[in-house]
């Protein structure tokens, strides 16, 4: 095992801490994945016209894909998975078959001229994999496909979220990948999903976005939230599940009756057999609110009520999601509430300032007075006039951005 992979495994373990992981842990793990890189995803190009040839993916492409999977699983508090050469061989056949047909589906016919053995191997993968089609191709296509499976966007997926739930299956132990490009230039990507060979460990629920520090870039306003529930813990069919989703700084509260399928947006309880256990799914309706997108420094609280355990007792799940950026976000400026102020000796006033943008890494401000014999300033921005004269009171961010207020102290 090379040094990069050893480092990545260590970083992924830190991210797996979930609510205990830090923003720096998350960013370090993400950078490690990005550093793997690949100029060419194939060591042998697939042939997508009969007679089909599966080709082979590069180690770098496969490493980037499985490490992206494990980054996402780590965020959700799930154990990492490993690459299966058998699943990867099957998925490569499956991707090549889909590229030949030039459409994405799980159950596909055998095209004329395609060898029967090739077809059997390929459909073994298409029927057991997450499948994606993209109208472009890049060396990092597999990593993009994994992120797409986690998003699971599109209204057709809303009531089930099968791609996400298979990706975040606690019982998954191994996976494999395939990729091929059609004659029209479309990319087809497969991730084997129905392994189900692990024991899953002791798990209660799998939330996405997950509790603790979570990458804001992986969540957008059109994407649903989901909570998969362990049926060895909860009687989901016998529960009447409601969800409250709130963000205090934005003043937003959304309520859902997921069992009834109604609320402040779309919601449902899915019993489709995707991954381990049914899922509570909800997507807030942001129209007419102050919401623009999920951004760093937002803290979203999720509360599920109306659950019943296997003995019929009421149960509640509550957790907080701390949105954080995968990348350093510096303060661009500081905005002072007023830029001129007039006081008399002994008088006090409260100044306020804020870092712009409000999703910067560090929102702390340090206050300074250019002449404390004229004006004192305290850590909370309160100014106190001392003696006649003028002084500039400055609020400064951690990276040196600032704004100032000119304070005139006149004779009392």
Cβ-defined contacts of 4-8 (< 8 Å, 24+): 4/32, 4/35, 4/36, 5/63, 7/32, 8/32, 8/33, 8/36, 8/67
pLDDT of residue 155: 87
SS3 4: helix
Residue 63 CA to residue 78 CA, distance in Å, equals 18
Beta-bridged to residue 284, according to DSSP, are 265
pLDDT in tens, 324-379: 999 999 999 999 999 999 999 999 999 999 999 999 999 999 999 999 999 999 99
Considering only CA atoms, which of 273, 132, 121, 272 is closest in space to residue 191?
132
Largest CA distance in the chain: 97
**Strand 340-343 with 402-409, pairing:** parallel
User: With 0-12 CB in 10 A as exposed, 13-18 as middle and 19+ as buried, what is 155?
Assistant: exposed
Flag residues of the chain having pLDDT under 70: 1-20, 36-38, 200
Torsion of CA 226, 230, 231, 234, to 10 degrees: -80
Q: Which two tokens stand for residue 275?
A: 């991954």
pLDDT in tens, 315-336: 999 999 999 999 999 999 999 9
Q: Which two tokens stand for residue 131?
A: 């499948």
Where along the chain do its domains lie? 3-192, 205-324, 333-409
SS3 352: coil
Beta-bridged to residue 354, according to DSSP, are 335
Q: What does pTM read for this prediction?
A: 0.91
The count of C-alpha atoms lying within 13 angstroms of the C-alpha of 183, restricted to the half-sphere facing its C-beta, is 8
Q: Which two tokens stand for residue 163?
A: 């791609």
As assigned by CATH, the class of the 205-324 domain is mainly beta
pLDDT of residue 34: 78
Q: Which fold has domain 3-192?
A: Pathogenesis-related Protein p14a (3.40.33)
Q: For the structural domain made of 333-409, what CATH number should be given?
A: 2.60.40.1080
Beta-bridged to residue 256, according to DSSP, are 243, 263
Q: Is-same-fold flag (3-192; 333-409)? A: no
In angstroms, the Cα distances linking 61 to 34, 137, 193, 384 are 11, 13, 18, 62
pLDDT of residue 300: 99
pLDDT of residue 304: 99
């Amino acid at each position: 095992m090379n040094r990069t992979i050893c480092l990545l495994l260590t970083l992924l373990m830190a991210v797996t801490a979930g609510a205990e992981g830090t923003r720096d842990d998350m960013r370090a793990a993400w950078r490690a994945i990005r550093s793997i890189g690949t100029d060419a995803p194939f060591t042998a190009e697939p042939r997508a016209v009969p007679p089909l040839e599966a080709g082979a993916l590069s180690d770098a492409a496969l490493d980037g894909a499985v490490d992206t999977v494990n980054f996402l699983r780590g965020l959700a508090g799930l154990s990492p998975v490993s690459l299966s050469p058998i699943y990867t061989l099957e998925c490569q056949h499956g991707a090549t078959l889909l590229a030949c047909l030039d459409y994405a589906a799980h159950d596909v016919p055998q095209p004329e001229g395609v060898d029967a053995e090739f077809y059997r191997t390929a459909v073994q993968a298409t029927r057991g994999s997450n499948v994606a089609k993209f109208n472009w191709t890049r060396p990092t296509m597999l990593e993009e496909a994994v992120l797409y499976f986690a998003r699971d966007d599109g209204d057709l997926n809303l009531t089930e979220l099968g791609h996400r739930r298979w990706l975040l299956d606690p019982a998954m132990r191994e996976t494999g990948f395939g990729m091929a490009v059609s004659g029209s230039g479309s990319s087809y990507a497969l991730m084997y999903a129905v392994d189900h060979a692990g024991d899953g460990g002791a798990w209660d629920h799998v939330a996405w976005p997950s509790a603790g520090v979570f990458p804001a870039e992986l969540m957008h306003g059109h994407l649903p939230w989901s909570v998969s529930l362990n049926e060895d813990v909860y009687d989901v069919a016998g529960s009447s599940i409601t969800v409250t989703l709130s963000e205090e700084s934005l003043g937003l509260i959304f309520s859902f009756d997921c069992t009834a399928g109604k609320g402040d947006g779309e919601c449902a309880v899915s019993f489709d057999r995707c991954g381990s256990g049914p899922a509570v799914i909800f997507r807030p309706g942001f129209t007419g609110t102050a919401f623009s997108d999920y951004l760093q420094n937002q803290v979203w609280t999720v509360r599920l009520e109306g659950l019943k355990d296997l003995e019929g007792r009421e149960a509640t799940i509550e957790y907080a999601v701390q949105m954080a950026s995968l990348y350093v976000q510096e303060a661009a400026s500081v905005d002072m509430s007023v830029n001129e102020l007039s006081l008399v000796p002994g008088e006090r006033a409260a100044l306020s300032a804020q870092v712009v943008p409000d999703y910067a890494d560090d929102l702390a401000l340090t206050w300074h007075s250019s002449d404390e014999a004229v004006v004192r300033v305290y850590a909370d921005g309160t100014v106190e006039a001392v003696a006649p004269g003028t002084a500039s009171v400055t609020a400064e961010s951690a990276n040196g951005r600032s704004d100032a207020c000119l304070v005139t102290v006149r004779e009392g």
